[in-house]
Every structure is written in C-alpha cells, then in structure tokens.
Structure 1
C-alpha cells in the first residue's frame, strides 16, 4: 500500500530551485530475533518470518533508487529462540550476535533500540552492540550519572545523485527514542543504572540539535506505536505526535507491531512528517520515498513530496536470491546453533500443553507457569512469617493465544519430551520474577483489565455474537490462580483492547472469591507472584503497578520454568483447579474463535461446551458456545 503526502508543488528552475533529489528510507522493526525463515517453536520452516525474507526486497528497493538508507527500529535481539541461543554457551566467544552480524551483512545505516533489547541485561546488550558496523542511537536514555547510554543522534554525510545526474553532499540527521515506560518494565535490570526520559521532548531536543549542527533533514526512529497526534509527552505510543515536531522530515514507528500504511488506507496526518510502521518479525519492509528540492538562493534542502509504503515479505523464497554471501553464511551458522539450543531436553509432560482454549477456561499450559512461579518465591515467603501468613496467588497469562498474533499464534506442545523450545513457546519473554502485596480492591481492578479481552454480549440477541476481541493482545489476559471469579461479558469493559480507560464504574468481574469460597473483601491482603513487566504496570495493567513490591529478581521467569520442569522426577501433569468462568447469560449463543490447531484437541473442546462451526475468513476456527 502506498500513502502520498505532497508538501508543496514540485519546484521548477524559474522558482530558483535547481535540483530534485530522490531519497529512499527502508526500515525494519520489531524483528524479535527472527532471522531465518524458520519457526523454532514448532521446528518447521516458516517463510512468514525472518529478516532473511526481506533481503531480496531490500536489494530490489536499492536497485530502484540508489539514494537509499536502511534503518532498524529496535526490539531486534529478543523474542525468538535465536535470541536465547545468542546469550547461551553455544555462541562461540568473540562471535558477533547473529542479528547484528546479519545487519552488518545487509549494510544497515543506523538503528535504535526497543524496550525488549534490554531484556537480557545491559552487559549482554552492550556486548551485542559492540560488533555493530552502524550507529545505534538513543536520545532519551542516560546512565545514572547523566551521560548518554548511546549516542543520542548522528549526522550521516552522504554523496547522493539528483535527477539530472549531479552529485550532492547531504547531511542526514538521525535519532532514536524508546518508550519511557522501559524504566518500569526493565526495573530489575535498569534501576540505578539507566534513566529513560519521555520521548516527545527528547525527540524535539535531538531534532533541534541536529538542525543546529547543519543537518539537511531529520529522521526519527521512534520505537513507539502510532498513538494520537496530541499524545502527552510521556506517552508509550507517540509516533504521530513525533511526526508533528518542527524540523522532523520522516518517522519510523514500531513497538505495537502494527502495519502503517495498511491495505486500503491512504492518508497522512496534515502538517506532519512522513510515517511508516513495518509490522513485526520480518513481516513487512517499510519504505518512505522523499523528494528533496534545493533552493539556489538559500542553498537549503526541503522535502517537496513524501510517499510511504509497506511491502509484505514474499512468503516464499524467490528462484534466485539476492542475499549477500556474508548473509547466507550467517544464516546457516545461526540456524544450526539455534536448532541445537532449542532441542535440549529438559523434562517430560504427561499431557498436552496448549493455549487454544485459554480464553475459555484455565488450562494446563498457564497452570504449569503458575506452579513454577509459586515454587520460585517459596524461599522468600518462608523466610518471613508475616508473608507466610498471607494467601499466595500466581498471576500468569497465555502468551500466545491468538488476538493480534492471528490464527497461528498459539502454543501447542504435545505430551512427551519437553525441550527448551517448548519452554520458550510457553513463556516467550525474559521478564524477571516479582512478588507483590495486593489488596482485594487492587485485585479486582487488575482483573478488570484482563476482562476487556471480550466483546460485549447482548443476552437474548438473535444469532451468535462474536466473543473474542482480536485487537486484544492475549499476553495481557492475566489469570489469577488461587481465586474464583466470573467475567460478565454482558457488562461494558472498563478498558478497550489497548488499555485506554473507558469508564471508572462497575466492570465485568463478579463473585470474586478466595479458593475456599470466602468473598474477597476490598481490604483483604494477599501476595501475588507475577513478572516484573506486569508488576510495573506493563500491558496497561495500572492496578498491578499500584501494589506493594515485596521482592524482585532479574533472572527470567522462564529460567524458573525450566528449573521447575527439570526438577520433576515424573512427567508433569499440572492439576488445573477451578478458577474463572463466564457469568451465565441464559444460554446466549456466542462464537468463540481460536486457532485451527484446536481441531487436534476435540475432547477438550467438547468438555468446554464448544461445537465446531468452521473457519472464519481470517483463518480462525469458529466454535459455538452457549453462555
């Protein structure tokens, strides 16, 4: 899809403008350690992911426009098993991080960081960046003493050719920003070491500095979703607002995994810089084409027109690839290393661990994580009699259960050997462990955020109504193991799918009780074990951030999960106690959509009252459910 914004009429010689120059910006974002076209969770080829799948698009785009810059917008080093393998003992000492080596081979011109690039800690991040042959920029992160963590901006001097074949020297200013919420999400790694300022003021200061230093144009790599044009300074998603900063000529967005411009959309915000958001995991290549004109009198370059587009990855390898030899060699090495890492056996499961029905009822997959988290904090609780006297809840989530990830984004681990790739599939992030003290009121507010995963259902309405809101990210659907409660989907949700507060009145949580059946009073005090991201309010779970932090540890919850699996002398068979359910609505029919792989678990579907109704146009499997 192409979006065009014309800033002014193209100049003619009689207007005193002698040169027209085309500059192309190519961008990737949120690659999340997807390098090869392979799904290491399922151990199968997947041509829908991977930086390698963009290599031919990059080569073609460069061939069509020699004046080209290639940029990456962060969240590059973490997310797939390759990211874990790169910090394991399998990466030879002195070797470059596979993602960085691949970006070197493709000739990236600059990059910024995303919040997940910090997930392995500062030492691992700095080791990875040391081998980058391109500047990595970050304008709103400083060390505790005030020094920049990375260069805040850079001016690249490039000799570019105009439409008449004449060479010109351009000074191209680049900067990058990351959501300020990183300071909370990564508290266990960053506290006392890194401070993160709001993006909008930082981007404005960097832009002013670049212009004062003689930059002919300014490009901002904003690891941030689109947001609103009037987003507040400390917003998590603010790319549209950054595009309105005076002096900014182009913005690369990311973070929220969206695609802008998408199919069928053709607009730019009036008075704003060109903007592109290239999806995630290598799904799309972002492209901004700028037409620059040079004034003979002022000798200044200005943007006369801007065109944005996103091009989806081909999906299948071309007959003849344009991948550089250095990239092909790197792909081969990285692929072998990652498969070896992912195949390590850590234990066995006596039951399937799947998330197809995790938004219908508690499941074994999330129960296994809940059990591992409980085991991990037992030593902390045992050391303090005051803590030991409190009920312990375990909050976890089905990290892959459709939603924005689509019909293939589910975990499906068969009974049998459990491998490291299965643990990474069950728990895809490297969040640390956190123990909180919460009140009953905070628990209710916490669960209200999760309850926005569903559409509002009108009891008695004719025909089945859709239940699942696929705009909701499944990793925000927290299940509170240790409580009994209902979700009343006939009531209005307190927040929308993105977490914006819609109203402060009564929500959807009903009959909130302790496991023994006692009602949870607003003033009750309980312990909740969760991850550091959620404890900081990540996923717009504001209630979690208001709880008292008792203990946190930077080492990943996933490592605790692996240890829990390995410690079991017998195959695991998590016992799933009663938990949450839907408030009965008189048998109102709804459509529950999940991944087509759910067909492999027909007995569980039937036990949950689901009857198959075929696929949706979007590829989800549709089931009829009466609430």
Structure 2
C-alpha cells in the first residue's frame, strides 16, 4: 500500500518562476505550486466492476476501474489529494450482504470491503452521505472505523446516546480538518500548504432515515453550517478550503433555504470556499446537463467563480480539479483553476482497465456476495423488465405493489382492517437520470423462471422499510398529480418531435404508480404542481378518470375524494412530507421489514401457494388518448438492446416503434409512442 504522501514524493516535478517587484526593482521570489484534487462520489458499494444482477463483469461501473484513473491522474500530477464525497456503504448487493451480516451477528467481521479497497488508494478524507445512515448508527460507526483516513461532517449534531462521549449539541463527526500538506513547488522544493476540508449531508436524513435517527441526532442546514465553520478554518490558517457537500447543484432561485437538499450553488457563495467536490444527484458537472445554470462556466468548471466538480455515480467518473497557486510574502493565492470529470467508459469503449489491487482487496467479499445473491426465493411466470415502466403499467412495479399491499394487509390493526389498502411504488431502475452512458444499463432485467435474492434486489434497489399512511381519495389524486411531473407537456397541435419523459426535474424514483385505483394521465395539460408538489397551476388537472372499485361499487368524484385509504409505501416516501398525504401525521403503520424483504417473502409465499408468482401488470393506469388533427411525433428513451426490442414488441399496450434515425447522446434507443389511438 502506498501512503498518499509517499506517492506525492514519487511523482514530484519541477518548474521555475520568478517575479520582479517593480516599485523598488528588488527581485522577490514568487513560488508556484500545482495542486490536483481528485474526487470519488456515490460509489454505493460498487467496489467491483461487476453487475451482481446480471452475474457478469461490467466495465461501466466500479471503484476497481476508477482506481486506475486515480493512479493515472496522481502519477501525472506534481501534488494531489484524494477525497470521497459519500454514499459509499449502501447501494449494491455487496453493501446489503455486509449489512445483513452485521444485523445478524452484530459484526461485519473486520474491515468493511469498501475500506479494504479505499485504503489501497491513499484517500485524504471522506465525507458522510445520506445513505451512510441506512443501516443505523452502530453499523456506520463500526464501518468508518476501518478507514485509514479521517471522516468529516459539519452539520449532523448529537442529540442523545451518541458515540465517543459526544454531548447534546456537539458535532457527531469531526466537522472539518485542516491538513498541513507537503507539496513541491516550481523549483522542486518542499512547501507546506494548509488544506481545509469540510463536509455536509442533506438535512433530509431526519426524514429518510427516521427510524435510525429520531431522538439521536439533529441536523443544521448546509449553508448554515458552512457559515459557522469556514471562518474557524480560516482562523486556523487554512490556505485553501475544499467543501465536500453530499448535495446536488440546486439553483440560484432560493439560495438561502436552510433546509435545502441541493445546496451547492448556494454554498459557492459562502466566503472562503475555494473548491467544491460535490455529489448526491448522480450527475456529472461540468457537462452539457447544466447548460444554462446561472453563473456556471462549463469550460472552466466553476459555479460563481468557485471550482466545482461532481463525478456521476458508481465510480463511472472521477472528479478532477487542477489549481495553480502562488506564494508571495508568505501567503498562498489561487491563480487559476480547471475542473472536469473523467469517465471510465465512453462511446462503448473501456477507457481504463480494472485495478487488481482493488479487486484483490475485496475478492473474499465479492465471492461471498455472489453466493448471497444466488439464494432461491421462488419462481416467476413471466419476464420482469423495466424498459417500458415510464410509459405504461409495468410488471417490475406491479410485483412490488402486490407485495406491499399483502404485507400491510397482514399487519392491519382492527381499527384499520376495513379501510382499503393501496400501494405507491416507483420504478427505481428506469434509465437512471439519463445523464451518463452507464444510465442506459440501469434497467431491471429479471427473466421468467427461478428467482433468487439478487432478483429481489434488482426489483427493489433500496433498503427502505415498510411504512403505511392513511389518506383520502382527494389526497390520492394530488399525490398522483405530483407524480405526473415525470412527463413533459405535449402540444396536441405540433408536428415537431416532442419528448415525453421529463429527465431534468423529476427523478424516476419519484414517479409513483398507485395501485388499487384506476386513472389516466392527460399530458396535454400543464403540470398542476412543481417538483416539490406545490400547486403552481390550480386549473390544471393531469389526473383524470380516477376511480376505485369495491365489488359492484365504483367510487368517483366527490364520493371518492372523501373516502379513506391506506397507502403502503416506504419510510422515504411516507415520512417525506412532499407528496399529498405524506408526513408523520399521516403514518399509521411502521414495520421493521424492508420493502425488499417483503417482496422476497411475497414471491416465496406465492410460489408455495400457486407454483409461481404472476407479476403481470394490471394496467390500472394509461395516458389519455389525444384527439388531434395533426400527426404527433411523441418520443421516449429506453435501453438500446435486443432484449429491450423483444420486450417492447411483446408487451406494448400502445403502438410503439423504434427510431433508427436518431442517436441518443447517452446510448439510449429512441422510440415513438402513439398517444392518438
């Protein structure tokens, strides 16, 4: 293993520069230093370049591939540091396997494989992401104790029962560190730069991991914490300050919201911050995705003049910021910066090979994970692919809804047993965020036949827990109105190409399908709500023909609006408070089971009772058929593969045809969908 400072010594280079003091003609030496900051983020336990759902190596993902880029970029730099932004411990079957062992045996059996890998690469610091809390504080503490580098977070505070003697109101983690970094200047001479690192996590962890954090921690706003601690870092002599927010870009429209989840734009306005290595939203910055972002320079990689980078997800990119600094009269000044994200895979080409040091470090856990995900749980009667999950009712969502309804019905109290149970479930893997080439592989692919645990993990990606809320029919409608933000508005009088899927402002995991009711979506209407479910067009109604059938009784209109329902969902959605009918005041059931466990149990129970589970979609939702005098050209994107082509042909509910004349920049296929017949 190479210590990061030893690596820096090994790759030291030289260059020279002097400057003249024109006022007195005395020569004053100007010391110049090049410093490279490397960033990983949102690895989500994709340590290996391996797809556990497909049981094959995958060159588009994995820290094993990113590690080769890290070593290349380190070798090419005179001075470098390496940071991780967070969301490391959850997100792949390997993460589930390690956490499952911890829950069963109260031990992860030594160093977490994520740190076995990262400890070979010489990280300077790690930040805490929101998914680090998914398995509880005990698991988090034991895991990060295995890191050979410090962890930081400035906005999570102890409330009660905290580790290492922390008292109420104290930071749960070290809020920041100031590292005295030995670097080499233009003459090859050693210099010292004090680099400050400060990390942040979205305040929403109190909602997303309520069951793990309630009564234990409180959270400050990201900008609020930065404004408190950055001046302290300056007072301690930090020459350069690197902010590491696990937070997306956000916008300039509301930069002072203390509870903002995506606060990077606002953070760039905090005095004293020189670089931002961010993450959380799985996008790549700088890139064309952010064209039009106010005060962003996509050539230089800056936001409000501050160097900034976000390296995608699952190791598909490495963030790089190159600084040029000068030291005059004992003070370091940033002369120039350039930020960029470097991919491991592009244009169907492997740009780096795997690093065998990382592969070897986790070989044992990799083999054990393969065994873990191969456990049989049942049999399915038909294929479950998510290629069409955004344009029609879908088996990958249907089977989750069936499982959630069954689990909640089994646990209804006498006071709730006569209330109909619905289910809200979203397609978690339906093209990712349509922002990187790896997203074109992000689809559920579970074929008919024998099912294993890896199939359940493919169908339900996150370790959420089962939670149910009690709502009215009116709230069901408003819930669906917000969900319908997934679609762009279609002009019924235009013959120009119109893309149906709103990739920019609505994530597919927020596209809830509510099963147990029937409805249609009128995409010619404007969105009734914005992405935060706030009504912005009160006269717009995308959700039409909403009904609930109970035997011979069909509820619609005002009768439906007043009827009570229980919606089976997950802790993330139920406690979120964003969708109508969500928030702690609506919660009527919290179960210890994860949604994935409930799904696996349902598959097993159905197989034992019927010989197999039937995941066929019940087609309870559809688009409103558009009446227009012109031929519409409505398009959507999905995976470009033979298996997708076959599935679309076999299961399409409307007429769907693949275009061969349009190239998608991320490698997706483009299809037309007929909304007129």
Q: Same fold (TM over 0.5)?
A: yes
> Which runs of structure 2 are paired with 1:49-64 in the superposition (5 Å)?
49-64=61-76
Change (3 A) 1:318 1:507: closer
**Paired position in structure 1 for 2:184:** 161
Change (3 A) 1:331 1:476: same
Shift of 1:407: 2.9
**Paired position in structure 2 for 1:622:** 671
**Paired position in structure 1 for 2:414:** 384
Deviations 1:151-187 (A, max 9, x none): 1111112111111222122221111001111111111
Whether 2:622 is the aligned partner of 1:595: answer: no
Q: Per chain length, whose mean CA-contact separation is higher, i.e. which structure has more relative contact order (CA < 8 Å, sep 6+)?
A: 1
Change (3 A) 1:378 1:462: same
Change (3 A) 1:592 1:295: closer
> Which runs of structure 2 are paired with 1:162-311 in the superposition (5 Å)?
162-229=185-252, 231=255, 232-262=257-287, 265-267=298-300, 271-296=304-329, 299-311=330-342
**Paired position in structure 2 for 1:360:** 391
Shift of 1:324: 6.7
Instruction: Say which is worse superposed, 88-97 or 254-263, in terms of deviation.
Output: 88-97
- Root-mean-square deviation (CA), in Å? 2.5
Measured in 1, the distance between the counterparts of 2:139 and 2:353 equals: 36
Select which of 2, 12, 25 maps to 2:19. 12
Shift of 1:602: 4.5
Instruction: Say which is worse superposed, 518-527 or 604-613, in terms of deviation.
Output: 604-613
Unaligned runs of 5+ in 1: 1-9
Shift of 1:434: 0.9
Alpha carbons 1:82, 1:338 under 8 Å: kept: yes
Select which of 540, 549, 556 maps to 1:519. 556
Deviations 1:188-245 (A, max 9, x none): 1111112122110112212112112222221110001111245222211111211221
**Paired position in structure 2 for 1:466:** 499
Whether 2:591 is the aligned partner of 1:553: answer: yes
Describe the SS at the equivalent of 1:87.
helix
Describe the SS at the equivalent of 2:276.
strand
**Paired position in structure 1 for 2:13:** none
Instruction: Say which is worse superposed, 74-83 or 574-583, in terms of deviation.
Output: 574-583
Alpha carbons 2:323, 2:335 under 8 Å: kept: yes
Instruction: Say which is worse superposed, 19-28 or 471-480, in terms of deviation.
Output: 471-480
Whether 2:446 is the aligned partner of 1:400: answer: no
Measured in 2, the distance between the counterparts of 1:54 and 1:586 equals: 50
Describe the SS at the equivalent of 1:600.
helix
Change (3 A) 1:110 1:530: same
Describe the SS at the equivalent of 1:571.
coil
**Paired position in structure 2 for 1:582:** 623
**Paired position in structure 1 for 2:603:** 565
Measured in 2, the distance between the counterparts of 1:228 and 1:365 equals: 33
Describe the SS at the equivalent of 1:404.
coil
Instruction: Say which is worse superposed, 130-139 or 434-443, in terms of deviation.
Output: 434-443
Measured in 1, the distance between the counterparts of 2:121 and 2:41 equals: 15
> Which runs of structure 2 are paired with 1:382-531 in the superposition (5 Å)?
383-385=413-415, 387-402=416-431, 404-405=433-434, 406-462=439-495, 465-471=498-504, 472-495=506-529, 502-516=536-550, 517-521=554-558, 522-531=561-570
Alpha carbons 2:300, 2:338 under 8 Å: kept: no
Change (3 A) 1:65 1:603: closer
Instruction: Say which is worse superposed, 328-337 or 562-571, in terms of deviation.
Output: 328-337
Shift of 1:611: 3.5
Shift of 1:136: 1.0
Shift of 1:429: 0.3
The count of residues paired between Structure 1 and Structure 2 equals: 611
Measured in 2, the distance between the counterparts of 1:575 and 1:475 equals: 21
Instruction: Say which is worse superposed, 559-568 or 19-28, in terms of deviation.
Output: 559-568
Measured in 1, the distance between the counterparts of 2:207 and 2:287 equals: 31
Describe the SS at the equivalent of 1:430.
coil
Deviations 1:34-89 (A, max 9, x none): 11111111112210000111112111211121311100001111111111122234
Describe the SS at the equivalent of 2:569.
strand
Instruction: Say which is worse superposed, 449-458 or 87-96, in terms of deviation.
Output: 87-96
Alpha carbons 2:521, 2:622 under 8 Å: kept: yes
Change (3 A) 1:73 1:13: farther
Measured in 1, the distance between the counterparts of 2:624 and 2:332 equals: 63
Unaligned runs of 5+ in 2: 1-16, 23-27, 160-167, 292-297
**Paired position in structure 1 for 2:149:** 134
Change (3 A) 1:259 1:367: same
Change (3 A) 1:363 1:93: closer
Alpha carbons 1:592, 1:625 under 8 Å: kept: no
Whether 2:388 is the aligned partner of 1:344: answer: no
